[in-house]
């Protein structure tokens, strides 16, 4: 049996170390598995909507696999963190999510991340593929009643759409990726059809596959959005192992 991974030194600069214990793992949609993790210590925990943890998971070799996952929801009373994992293949995070059992322990660092809800803003535009869906939903849930938001969310199949309560002012458009299309293409097309205006005080959030995020950000800049009105991060990229891409 392999020893449990430890937190690499370089990660300790990125956030607080956390010891978590799996409480349950459930199906959200066919392509998304939720792992609910309990905080083992009494340390205070607070996460802004959209922030993430770096989970330290068993890797393919001796090195741990450090992977970013959004805090989909924090249930304060139970000290429980929900993480929603997109199932895309045979990878360290996917194996962990598929096999997670109550009582399994996992180390993490966080919360961290700058793509978080701007509470002072009233008009939001959110663009994501399925890896960004946990961030988008957690930001939408945290918006005050008066906020307006449009979210373009790309999913792999109609069955990956999640139930969402109808709420005035909040419009989620589920875009199903066509066969053979690359990630983000459906959002790219819908965005160009929409031609969003950079109305005063509007903020855009873009998360998902890196090349798509870059292209969507360039498009918004060409529509007149200020750089400061866009928060963007590349969550994954074909061939890249873990990590993230700064977009600016």
Nearer to ligand FAD, 186 or 196 (CB): 186
Nearer to ligand FAD, 39 or 136 (CB): 136
Nearer to ligand FAD, 73 or 203 (CB): 73
Closest CA to 153 of 128, 179, 181: 128
Q: How far is the CB of 81 from ligand FAD (least distance, A)?
A: 11
Rounded to whole angstroms, the Cα distance separating 183 from 188 reads: 10
Closest CA to 81 of 33, 107, 45, 113: 45
- Nearest 5°: the CA angle 97, 102, 107 is 65
Q: How far is the CB of 222 from ligand FAD (least distance, A)?
A: 25
Q: How far is the CB of 40 from ligand FAD (least distance, A)?
A: 21
Cross-strand partners of 125: 150, 204
Q: How far is the CB of 93 from ligand FAD (least distance, A)?
A: 3
List all residues 6 or more positions away from 187 whose beta carbon is below 8 Å from its beta carbon: 127, 128, 129, 152, 153, 154, 175, 208, 212, 216
Rounded to whole angstroms, the Cα distance separating 129 from 31 reads: 12
Closest CA to 119 of 149, 90, 155, 161: 149
Q: Which residues bind ligand FAD (CB under 6 A)?
A: 52, 65, 67-70, 84-86, 88-89, 91-94, 113, 131, 134, 233, 235-242, 244
SS3 82: strand
Q: How far is the CB of 243 from ligand FAD (least distance, A)?
A: 7
Residues 130-146 as b/e (b if ≥16 CB within 10 A, e otherwise) read bbbbbbbbbbbeebeee
Nearer to ligand FAD, 65 or 152 (CB): 65
Nearer to ligand FAD, 123 or 141 (CB): 141
Nearer to ligand FAD, 178 or 199 (CB): 178
Q: How far is the CB of 208 from ligand FAD (least distance, A)?
A: 9
């Amino acid at each position: 049996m392999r020893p449990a991974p430890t937190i690499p030194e370089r990660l300790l600069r990125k956030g607080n170390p956390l010891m978590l214990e799996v409480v349950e793992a459930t199906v959200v949609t066919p392509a998304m598995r939720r792992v609910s993790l309990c905080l083992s210590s009494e340390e205070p925990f607070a996460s802004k909507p959209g922030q993430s943890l770096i989970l330290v998971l068993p890797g393919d070799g001796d090195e741990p696999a450090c992977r970013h996952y959004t805090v989909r929801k924090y249930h304060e009373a139970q000290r429980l963190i929900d993480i929603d994992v997109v199932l895309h293949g045979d990878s360290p995070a996917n194996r962990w999510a598929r096999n997670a059992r109550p009582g399994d322990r996992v180390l993490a660092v966080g919360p961290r991340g700058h793509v978080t809800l701007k509470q002072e803003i009233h008009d939001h535009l959110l663009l994501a593929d399925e890896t960004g869906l946990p961030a988008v939903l957690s930001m939408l849930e945290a918006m005050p009643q008066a906020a307006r938001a449009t979210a373009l969310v790309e999913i792999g199949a109609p069955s990956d759409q999640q139930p969402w309560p109808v709420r005035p002012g909040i419009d989620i458009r589920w875009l199903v990726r066509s066969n053979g299309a690359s990630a983000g293409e459906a959002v790219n097309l819908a965005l160009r059809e929409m031609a969003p205006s950079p109305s005063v005080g509007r903020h855009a959030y873009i998360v998902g596959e890196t090349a798509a995020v870059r292209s969507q950000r360039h498009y918004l800049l060409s529509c007149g959005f200020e750089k400061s009105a866009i928060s963007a991060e590349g969550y994954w990229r074909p061939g890249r192992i873990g990590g993230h891409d700064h977009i600016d």
